[in-house]
Amino acid sequence: MRIPIAVIALLSAHSAGAAEIWSASELKGSAAKLAPEADAKGIAGATLGAATLWRRAKSGQAEFHKTKTDLLVIEEGSATLIVGGTIPDAKVTAPNELRGSAIRGGESRRVAPGDIVRIPAGTPHQFVLDKGQSVAYFALKLAR
């Protein structure tokens, strides 16, 4: 899978200095290197310029970013992404960031390699994985 040119342009616009390009094989190799840590901790990440490559080996918490939009490119694996609704037990975990155990009333959709997801600031979201599955994705946080 090739990284969409729009993602490369966004990365370049948000970082000073030379443009950076990561090939599909580099991303796949980086995602594979994250597997042992993700298996042990549930999630592992590697910084790529202004973005992060994440690998999840278990479902994540429900998240809510007050001021940041997430742009995600699914690299490998699959998961159910729940967006919208509310996080009944939301707790502040950092400035402008909330986390909770689950989303109530959200919309569920399967995501798979090649899918690009934009989650606007202020939108609850959560990855739910089937047992034994993992998902790797490239994430860029955009300020409002």
Task: Quickly count: other Cβ atoms within 10 Å of residue 60's Cβ.
Answer: 18
Query: What are the structural domains, with CATH classification, of the chain?
Result: 5-143 (2.60.120.10)
pLDDT value for 58: 96
Name the phi and psi angles at 52, rounded to 5. -135, 140
Instruction: Read off the pTM.
Output: 0.81
b/e map 64-86, b = 16+ CB within 10 Å: bbeebbbbbbbbbbbbbbbbebe
pLDDT value for 13: 52
Per-residue pLDDT in tens (0 to 9) along the chain, 144 residues: 455 555 555 555 555 567 778 888 888 888 889 999 999 999 999 988 778 999 999 999 999 999 999 999 999 999 999 999 999 999 999 999 999 999 999 999 999 999 999 999 999 999 999 999 999 999 998 886
pLDDT value for 9: 52
pLDDT value for 136: 94
In the 8-state DSSP scheme, what is residue 59? P
β-pairing, 62-65 vs 97-100, is antiparallel
pLDDT value for 22: 80
